[in-house]
Amino acid sequence: MLNDKSILITGGTGSFGKKCVQIILERYKPKRLIVFSRDELKQFEMAQEFPESKHSCMRYLIGDVRDKERMYRAFNGVDYVIHAAALKQVPAAEYNPFEAVKTNVIGAQNVINVAIDKGVKKVIALSTDKAANPVNLYGATKLCSDKLFIAGNSYVGRNNTIFSVVRYGNVVGSRGSVIPFFLRFRSNGYLPVTDPRMTRFWITLEQGVNVVLRCLEKMVGGELFVPKLPSMNIMDLANAIAPRCKIKVIGIRPGERLHEMMITKDDARRTLEFKDYYIVQPEFHFWKKRYNGNTGKPVGEDFEYNSGTNPWQLSIEQMKEVLRTL
C-alpha cells in the first residue's frame, strides 16, 4: 500500500517515528517518507541513520503541529499521515497544562484541517490507554484528540480524506517507559515502585508499528482500533529486570492510576471484537454503511478492557525474553 506513496510522520524523531521509518524502508518503496518534528538535533542524528544519500525518499522537515501555516507546506502532495506527535509525560503535562493542550488538542485540530484542505487520503492518529476514562491531563487531551479525529470525518464534505485512531498501551523501552528507568536504577541496589498492585498493558515498538500500519491499510474512517495486548503487574516487571534488587514503595505519582483501561463499559455497546483487536465504532449513525463488511462480534454490555482484569498476563520469563530484544 505504501509503495510509490508519500507518507508523513508527525513526531517522526520519537521512539515510534524512528522505528516506523525503519520498518517502512525495509518493507516498502515510498515516493517520499517525511519526518516532521521540531527538534533539529534529533533530525540531524536520525539523518545519519537514514541518510537521503542511501534512501532517496527521505525528507526531514522542521516544524510543529501547533504551526498550521508550516503544516500547509509540509502536507503538499502527501497521501498518508501518521500522527505520532504529542506531549506525553504525565507529570510534565500536569505541571504545564497549557502546553499539553496546544500540542495534543490544537495540534490535532491543525492536522485534521490541513489534511482535508490538502487532500490527504488517510490520517491515522496514535492514542493511549490513558485516554479511556482519563484521570490526568495527558489522558484528557488525548481523549479530546481521539474525538477530534473521529469527528474529523464529518468535516471532510466532498473531499475523500478519512481519519481513524489506534489506541494501545505502554511501549516497552520507549522514552518515558518505566523500563529504561528501572534499568538505570538497578545499579543502586533498589527499584522505586509507586504501588505493588499496579498493572499496565505492554507492547513492543515493532509490534506498535505493525499494528498502526495494519490499521492504516484496513481503516475506512471513524474507527478506534484497540489491539489485544498482554498485561503485567509492576512487581513482576521489577523481578524480570532486577530480581536481586530491593523494592522501595514511593506512592502513586500525580495523574497515575493503579490499572489502565483501553475500552470502557460505556464504549462496550459500540465495540466489535475481532481475532487480534477490537474496534470501537463512532456514535454517528450515518456512517454505519461504512462498516457493513465488518465481521466482528459485539462484546457484552458489561465488557471492559482493563489491565487489571485482562486474562492475558505476561510471565516474568516472557518479559525477560522481550527485554533481551532491546
Cα distance between residue 106 and residue 77, in whole Å: 23
Q: What does the angle CA 189 – CA 182 – CA 249 come to, to the nearest 5 degrees?
A: 70
H/E stretch holding 68: helix 68-74
What is the reported pLDDT for 310?
A: 96
Cβ within 8 Å of residue 140, ≥6 positions away: 131, 134
Which set of grid coordinates corresponds to residue 125? 492518529
263 forms bridges with which residues in the sheet? 305
Q: Would you state the torsion angle of the CA atoms of residues 149, 154, 159, 164, taken in this order, to the nearest 10 degrees?
A: 30
Measured CA distances, 203 to 84, 228, 251, 269 (Å): 16, 10, 25, 26
End-to-end alpha carbon distance in the chain: 29
**Contact between 90 and 256 (Cβ < 8 Å):** yes
Report, as residue numbers or ranges, the catalytic residues.
Answer: 130
Residue 240 pLDDT: 93
Query: What phi, psi does 86 have (nearest 5°)?
Result: -170, 155
**Pairwise CA distance, residues 280 & 299, whole Å:** 10
159-175 residues labelled b (16+ CB within 10 A) or e (exposed): eebbbbbbbbbbbbbbe
pLDDT digits (tens, 9 = 90+) for 149-171: 999 999 998 889 999 999 999 89
Instruction: Give the residue among 320, 125, 292 at the shortest CA–CA distance from 232.
Output: 320
pLDDT digits (tens, 9 = 90+) for 263-302: 999 999 999 999 999 999 998 766 676 776 677 899 998 9
> Cα(291)–Cα(303) distance, rounded to whole angstroms?
21
Q: Which residues of the chain have pLDDT under 50?
A: none
CATH of domain 6-170+202-228+264-305: 3.40.50.720
Distance CA 271, CA 320 (A): 33
> What residues contact residue 98 under an 8 Å CB cut-off, 6+ apart?
none
Q: Give me the count of residues in the chain.
A: 326
73-77 long-range contacts (CB < 8 A, ≥24 apart) are 74/8, 74/34, 74/36, 75/8, 75/114, 75/115, 75/118, 75/120, 76/118, 77/6, 77/32
pTM: 0.94
Dist. CA 9–CA 58, nearest whole Å? 11
Query: What pLDDT, on a 0 to 100 scale, did the predictor assign at position 286?
Result: 62
